[in-house]
Amino acid sequence: MTGDEIRQGFLDFFRERGHTVVPSAPLVPEDDPSLLFVNAGMVQFKQVFLGKERRPYTRAADAQKCLRISGKHNDLEQVGRDTYHHTFFEMLGNWSFGDYYKREAIAWAWELLTRVWKLPKTALWATVHTTDDEAAALWTQVTDVDGARVLRFDAENFWEMGETGPCGPCSEVHIDRGPDACDHRADPAHRCGVNAGCARFIEIWNLVFIQYNRDEAGKLTELPAKHVDTGMGLERVASLLQGVPTNYDCDLLRGIISRMEKLSGRRYGRSAADDVSLRVIADHGRAVTFLITDGVLPSNEGRGYVLRRLLRRAARHGKLLALDRPFLHEVVAAVVHTMGRAYPEVVERQGRIVEVVRDEEERFAATLDRGLALLESEVERARRAGDRTLSGEVAFRLYDTYGFPLDLTEDILAAEGLVADRAGFERAMEAQRQRARGAKRFADAEAAPEMIARPAGLGTRFVGDRVVEWESEVLALVAAGRETRGPLGAGAEVDVVTAETPFYAESGGQVGDRGWLETRDGATRIEVLDTQRIAPTVVAHRGVVRQGAVSVGDRLRMRIDVARREAARLNHSATHLVHAALRRQLGPHVRQAGSLVTPERLRFDFSHTRPVGEGPLGEIEDQVNSQIRANLEVWAEEMSYDQAIKAGALAFFGEKYGDRVTVVHMGDYSVELCGGTHVARTGDIGLFKVRGEAGVAAGVRRLEAVTGEGALDLVRRHEAVLREVATLLRGPEEEAAAKLEKLLAQQRDLEKRIAELQGKLAGGATRDVLADARRVDGVTVLATRVDGLDDKGLREMADRLRERIKSGVVVLGTAQGERALLLAAVTKDLIGRFHAGNIIKQLAPLVGGGGGGRPDFAQAGGKDPARLDEALAAAYDLLGAGSR
């Protein structure tokens, strides 16, 4: 059974039992600043457990991508050193939100493990919390597990989201893999057992029963609704079902390791040191691939720095396997091959992933050797001095100058029996931060909501989306992060809170209104640039005092920018039609995953795993325009949340709903929960045009479109471009595509003929340049310049020359505009004496470049073709100690 089959089998099992299969959330958490990455299956359901979000389903199942590399769950240092830690892994889970509870969770877990996957019952053990008599009883009532194999533990079987909040007992399933699996056999005092800390007994599945809330005093209170949260590592269960000894031997990882075996020439299982490096690269290759897929790019802070650390740690392990050239982009290809069926977005974005990985690896390669040389000299110095600690200043220099993350330095030191002075490193880092800050000043913008929400009864009433002017009293002012009563004069940036407002505060993806606040006499004028809800009942009009002064207690006339509001209204209503059309065209799995509604355009994110395609995209555009032409009535009604969901209303991503909600109808075509502004009839939208569709995260697509005047403007611009192309092609517009294709075919034919001519030129030039060959210390060396050839032509010429001279070294150079290209080739009989990669590595800096390659062949580019002749002359010096 393959990993793909195991994953799908799990999801199908729970789908058949009434669960909604939910796509994996991206590795970057949505609306959760407490986490760098999703590290468990429950993260995307966290707001449900906290009672802050309602879902249209009460049972769910998923396969969640996870990354554990920071905070409490940080497995980075262990990855590679053993056979079961990972940074990236998949968590299989099933969930109940106030629906079923312990009985079903236990019964279904046992059924899947023993009846479907046929794991031996005699090898399985269950654990429960010491106080959970209910779960202990259920294990013997709803399964046929041996009662003696139901064990009780304390802390090991109690799950908590944090120091406070939802929590509860958990029940785990463990499997006995037999005495040979124990990794503590050398310890005579060790006794194998569940939770005894050896690899013989391993946990398969954790069933968490969320039934309490822990307050700040530590008191546990029963929750009104009880939930189930389960998690099972896919890699671990795959290794069990495939009958292989470790996670790294299952098909989800072994194919990646096999690719590394071919690249490095090393065999997994023959050397403990090589095995560590192969495991690190396989693991980090998966993590890197999915991080970039989900939109993370290398940088020096936050998530981008984690990605950079992984890439550089993997690159260093490649160095340990004697790989002196970029290789990680080839690991990406192996990851895509293994994971692409389950996550088609990695296939779609493979080109971009490879580009990012190759760029980062080449950037690090330029400093890796110099950094290693510095570290080696410092290790030797420490040894001579009898010191086992590398100074924090040197560790920081490696980080700051050579791009070595601290954990990479610590990895290298650990192999030498040394450690880094972390405190000294942090001091050096902080000193740099202080220098960078200088005299920079900043205000705490987040203080404003807390400060102005303090007065009792403070709140803002929205007077309705059909009202464009109003008059109200100023209740509070905030400027430079501080609450003030004013007056605030011209030029002041200010948040104005009023008792009532016609301004729409940003919500549901629709941007906030703009407009003006003015006193009756016109003496004071405030331009509103944005409107935000900064507390549940408080709306801030964010803007600049353009004239006069404003104080708390002033009465202001409030005018919204009507044209901007109307344009946003069109786009917001169009998103509802888009949502309905997507579900009709692609299927009911489509759910909104985010949106942005501005006066100029709309952006709609939705759950879908594959590109939509031109055909279906055209159908969706046609459906939306059909509903616009039908001029459907648009109306809103208020009802309870439960009534709305039962009536088929769709809920919006990221929105928090109370007990009473507003439901927006567009005829019988669309019914959604929404508090935004909308047209009176769909015909008001006028025209809808799709601008593009693309992937933005794992399982999430993005559609961008325009409406009304924006759509008409888009059509006009497209028509203008078509007319211009037709004019250039000297034909009517309807023949433009055919004429362009004919021109492109002619271009391809010309390029083919040019390549043939270059091949002939290279062949002729070969005979001419052989006259420049010299004997250097008994070896034929040819270093010469050949202009007029592209990269491919130069490589072909090098191969011909190598064949002609039989035994020797060839170094060729060519100028290509503002770029220089150097190439070295060594015949097979001389590879033991000369290394083409090392030759190029020493010559490339002379033309402002860098590079390397194999012992028999290498090339490099440079930015200074004026020094090409100097570099070629240096080749003779390099190979012959100055011999001419």
pLDDT attached to residue 447: 35
Please give the pLDDT value at position 417: 81
- The confidence score (pLDDT) of residue 297 equals 82
Highest mean pLDDT (candidates 142-146, 360-364, 875-879)? 142-146
Which range (581-585, 627-631, 879-883) has the least confidence? 879-883
At position 234, the amino acid (one-letter code) is L
Q: What is the pLDDT of residue 652?
A: 55
Q: Which residues pair with 559 in a beta bridge?
A: 469, 516
**Could you report the per-residue pLDDT of 20-47, keeping only the tens digit for each?**
999 999 998 876 666 788 988 888 888 8
Pick 764 or 49 by higher pLDDT: 49
Residue 51 has pLDDT above 70, yes or no: yes
pLDDT band at 441 (very low <50, low <70, confident <90, very high): very low
Backbone angles phi, psi at 867, to 5 degrees: -100, 15
Confidence category of residue 49, pLDDT binned at 50, 70, 90:
confident
pLDDT of residue 140: 94
**What confidence tier does 85 reach under pLDDT thresholds 50, 70, 90?**
confident
pLDDT tens-digit map of 250-295: 999 999 999 999 999 999 999 988 999 999 999 999 999 999 998 8
Q: Is the model more confident about 398 or about 338?
A: 338
Per-residue pLDDT tens digits for 460-495: 888 877 888 999 999 989 887 788 888 999 988 999
User: CA-to-CA distance for 503 and 516, rounded, in angstroms?
Assistant: 10
- Tokens, residue 407: 């954990």
* 641-654 confidence digits (pLDDT tens): 778 877 777 765 44
The pTM is what?
A: 0.53
Q: How many residues are recorded in the chain?
A: 884
Angle between helices 102-110 and 133-142 (to 10 degrees): 40
592-617 pLDDT per residue, tens: 888 888 888 888 988 887 888 889 99
Beta sheet of 808-816, edge-to-edge order: 774-776, 779-785, 808-816, 819-826, 857-862, 849-853
Compute the radius of gyration of the chain from its Cα atoms: 33
pLDDT of residue 112: 97
Closest CA relative to residue 287, chosen from 299, 263, 303 = 303
Scored b (16 or more CB within 10 A) or e, 612-643 reads beeeebebbbebbbebbeeebebeeeebebee
281-290, 381-390, 701-710, 753-762: least confident range: 753-762
pLDDT at position 243 over 60: yes
The secondary element (H helix, E strand) that includes residue 606 is: strand 602-607
SS3 470: strand
Residue 100 above 50 pLDDT? yes
Q: How confident is the model at residue 777 (pLDDT cuts 50, 70, 90)?
A: confident
Q: Residue type at 336?
A: V
What pLDDT is stored for residue 658 in this prediction?
61
Mean pLDDT in the chain?
85
- The SS3 of residue 127 is strand
Q: Give the model's pLDDT for residue 444.
A: 33
CA end-to-end span of the chain, whole Å?
66
**Residue 681 token pair:** 């009839």
| CA–CA separation, 88 and 115 (whole Å) | 29
Q: Which has more confidence, 837 or 374?
A: 837
β-strand partners of 173: 126, 205
- Residue located via tokens 């650990």: 414
pLDDT for res 275? 93
CB 689 within 8 A of CB 705: yes
pLDDT at 30: 73
For the cut 70, the answer to whether the pLDDT of residue 584 exceeds it is yes
Whether 443 has a pLDDT exceeding 50, the answer reads no
> When comparing pLDDT for 753 and 229, which is higher?
229
Exposure class string for 820-858: b at 16+ Cβ within 10 A, else e: bbbbbbbbeebeeebbbbbbbbebbebbbbebbbebbbb
Return the pLDDT at 752: 75
Residue-level pLDDT at 746? 84
CA pair distance 77, 419, nearest whole angstrom: 14
Q: How confident is the model at residue 794 (pLDDT cuts 50, 70, 90)?
A: confident
Neighbours of 764 (CB within 10 A): 9
Percent of the chain with pLDDT over 90: 38
Give the pLDDT confidence score for residue 751 in this predicted structure: 73
Highest mean predicted confidence (pLDDT) among 39-48, 60-69, 368-377:
60-69
How far apart CA 113 and CA 108 sit, in angstroms, is 9
Quote the pLDDT of residue 472: 92
- pLDDT classification of 666: cutoffs 50, 70, 90: very high
Q: Give residue 849's pLDDT.
A: 86
The pLDDT assigned to 406 comes to 78
The one-letter code for the residue type at 291 is: L
pLDDT on residue 545: 93
**What pLDDT does residue 659 have?**
67
pLDDT in tens, 675-719: 788 999 999 999 999 988 988 765 678 999 999 888 888 888 888
DSSP letters for 535-599: ETTEEEEEEEEEESEE-TT-EEEEEE-HHHHHHHHHHHHHHHHHHHHHHHHH-TT--EEEEEE-S
Q: Work out the pLDDT band at 763, boundaries 50, 70, 90.
A: low
Tens of pLDDT, residue by residue over 302-353, are: 788 889 889 988 988 998 898 888 899 999 999 999 999 999 989 988 888 8
Tell me the range of 10-19, 197-206, 429-438 where mean pLDDT is highest.
Answer: 10-19
Residues 136-166: tens digit of each pLDDT: 999 999 999 999 999 999 999 998 866 777 8
